[in-house]
Amino acid sequence: MEKHGAELLLQRMLSNTSATFREGQWEAIDAVVNQRRKLLVVQRTGWGKSAVYFIASKIFRDRGAGPTIIISPLLALMRNQVAAAERLGITAETLNSTNREEWQRISDKLLRGGVDCLLISPERLANQDFLETANTPVLGTTATANNRVVEDIRQQLGDIVIQRGTLARESLALDALVLGEQSSRLAWLATVIPQFSKSGIVYTLTTRDAELVAEWLRTNGISAFAYYSGVTCEGAEDSNTAREYLEQALLANKIKVLVATTALGMGFDKPDLGFVIHYQMPGSIVGYYQQVGRAGRAIDSAVGILLCGGEDRAIHKFFRESAFPAEAQIHEILNVLSENDGLTLRGIEQRTNLRYGQIEKALKLLVAENPSPVVYTEKLWRRTIVSFSPDHERINHLMNQRKNELADVESYITTKECKMQFLRRALDEPSAERCGKCSSCLQHPLLSPDIDSGLLHAANLFIKHADLPLNLNKQVASGAFTQYGFKGNLPAGLQGSTGRVLSRWGDSGWGKQVAQEKKTGRFSDELVEACAEMVRQRWNPHPEPTWVCCVPSLKHLDLVPDFARRLAAKLGLPFIDAIEKVVDNPPQKMQQNRFGDAANLLI
């Protein structure tokens, strides 16, 4: 097909008869559909990469070719892409973890030739039928492939053409602020977000912080909702429905801000998004450019602000250390597989002190070895004769790489260089020029860093009052407590009601104080007062408690009983020493799964 015919498809896709290709778009389409090349397109966020692969797909289908497979790691991207395909008259379907009941229907439709584009997650590629297909044009698109990533792709795909465009975002003004305390950042957000005329996104590193920030903003009259994997909302039957509802609400400007983890990332396209603020440092420049690039795609001006908090480095240290399974965990899995003739994931979990997710991660690493120490056959994991030898050099290299990536983000925060220029150079665009609109170019902050003292006080109180529900298990692990005859759900009379937790260990608010005072051997009267206030003023349990007891420790004999007695006195209730610990078993926190939780309670 010639350029004019492809441009007509672009106009149809955009519902705009005057639309023309941006620089590089036609060249990419031509390389794939006419030259049948392998092509990697590296273009800025908002450039129009989806237009390239959808128009190429349409041309292939009109020529009688088979369907296009689009590999997408995120559900938000899949939903957005299906809608874009429909505008071009392309029948698109998606296979992902949220629509398993549709897989057979979609597979049948695909075999009948009724699907033009199939969107799938990377995990779905792990089957031999797909891998054996050869001589197929390949198009890879990204906004953030630096030279190292490009070289990795070249080694995997072989003879591949690289098309690079500028990464400059003319509409986007950038800034970074160091506000170490969470209360300072909360107060600042409540001050600046109402100043924006358009809606936007606030990114957090954890789901807990997403909930905290969203609730704080709502407390201050700002329409804000948390968004993360597993989020729920009223009226939504599951998390996938809830996430789609929240995406549509932001797209329609029915809410001011989504407070999101990285679950809202690539592929979410809201052309008039006015701001992206990071509540904490992202882990890399690549990730930051992708996320901040959601803003200002089709408007003249937008803002991207990166806030740096005191807890950021600790969170990223946890992410790094949990990215790879520990060698001891891998050997624990291999040992139980050696002792059994095939196990499911749950079967491995039952025989180890490992979480389900840890087991999954370890098996993914093991099965990627060639040859592999494990094999998955007949829906069971089995041990092979291949010994396991961890690649310490590779793991250390990847760990150091992540440390260096975080160091680059820290340099971005403090640099006096143009912020956009810094990002572009970090992504290996050597000819990057100054943007003229970031805080470095203007030599002053884009938004005042000053914080209202009243809001700061309110934020401190909010964090200290951000107690959490304690949802007790209503089910027991299969095979646990057999001597009591429990199967599945606990008897209704033995199910605990929802409780309350004053804080998480080490969190802002009371969490740090709890951690510090445990070391001293006595919790302060201030913590007693805080718990009493939580019970009487915010929780208000029904029926009201009539006495207080505690679960003692054989290692810290007075710590918890002393606190419980003082709390009982503060609440005006009797303390009853009703529970005696008779076995010196390991702390319950050391148990990593529900099977261990149950076994550790047995006498």
Mean pLDDT within 318-323: 90
Burial level of 244, CB count in 10 A (0-12/13-18/19+)? Answer: middle
Report whether pLDDT(96) > 90: no
Residue of higher predicted confidence among 260 and 132: 260
pLDDT given for residue 479 in this prediction: 75
pLDDT tens, position by position, 375-400? 999 899 999 999 998 888 988 999 99
Report whether pLDDT(72) > 80: no
Cα 451 from chain centroid? 29
Q: Could you tell me the pLDDT band of residue 342, with boundaries at 50, 70 and 90?
A: very high
Q: Could you tell me the pLDDT band of residue 77, with boundaries at 50, 70 and 90?
A: low
Residue 360 has phi, psi (to 5 degrees) of -55, -45
Fold that domain 3-164 belongs to in CATH: Rossmann fold (3.40.50)
- The DSSP-derived string for 356-392 is HHHHHHHHHHHHTSSS-SEEEETTEEEE-SPPP---H
Residue of higher predicted confidence among 80 and 69: 69
pLDDT given for residue 301 in this prediction: 96
Count of C-beta atoms within a 10 Å radius of residue 409: 23
Report whether pLDDT(572) > 60: yes
Residue of higher predicted confidence among 276 and 551: 276
Q: Could you tell me the pLDDT band of residue 587, with boundaries at 50, 70 and 90?
A: confident
Report whether pLDDT(204) > 50: yes
Look up residue 22 and give its two tokens. Answer: 């941006």
Mean pLDDT within 242-256: 95
Burial level of 235, CB count in 10 A (0-12/13-18/19+)? Answer: exposed
Mean pLDDT within 313-322: 92
- Structure pTM? 0.85
Look up residue 33 and give its two tokens. Answer: 């559909």
Report whether pLDDT(373) > 70: yes
pLDDT given for residue 491 in this prediction: 85
pLDDT given for residue 128 in this prediction: 47
Report whether pLDDT(127) > 60: no
Mean pLDDT within 82-94: 83
Three-class secondary structure of residue 84 per DSSP: helix
pLDDT given for residue 187 in this prediction: 98
What CATH number does domain 321-393 carry, 1.10.10, 2.60.40, 1.25.40, 3.40.1350? 1.10.10
Look up residue 10 and give its two tokens. Answer: 């672009």
pLDDT given for residue 391 in this prediction: 86
Q: Read off the DSSP letter of residue 93.
A: E
Report which listed range, 114-118, 215-219, 363-367, is most confident. Answer: 215-219
Domain positions in the chain are 3-164, 172-317+415-452, 321-393, 467-599
pLDDT tens, position by position, 350-369? 999 999 999 999 999 998 88
Percent of the chain with pLDDT over 90: 64
Three-class secondary structure of residue 174 per DSSP: strand
Fold that domain 172-317+415-452 belongs to in CATH: Rossmann fold (3.40.50)
- The DSSP-derived string for 401-440 is HHHHHHHHHHHHHH--S-HHHHHHHHTT-TT----SSSHH
pLDDT given for residue 562 in this prediction: 96
pLDDT given for residue 149 in this prediction: 86
Mean pLDDT within 508-521: 91
Report whether pLDDT(129) > 70: no
Domains 3-164 and 321-393 alike in fold: no
Mean pLDDT within 1-11: 92
Q: Could you tell me the pLDDT band of residue 426, with boundaries at 50, 70 and 90?
A: very high
Report whether pLDDT(62) > 50: yes
- CA terminus-to-terminus distance, the chain: 76
pLDDT tens, position by position, 292-314? 999 999 899 999 999 999 999 99
pLDDT tens, position by position, 178-196? 999 999 999 999 999 999 9
pLDDT given for residue 474 in this prediction: 86
Cα angle: 406, vertex 409, 410; to 5 degrees: 90
Helix (H) / strand (E) element for 535: namely: none
pLDDT given for residue 484 in this prediction: 78
pLDDT given for residue 537 in this prediction: 93
Report whether pLDDT(505) > 70: yes
CA pair distance 370, 385, nearest whole angstrom: 13
Q: Could you tell me the pLDDT band of residue 225, with boundaries at 50, 70 and 90?
A: very high
Q: Could you tell me the pLDDT band of residue 498, with boundaries at 50, 70 and 90?
A: very high
Report whether pLDDT(126) > 60: no
Specify which residues 220 forms β-bridges with.
none
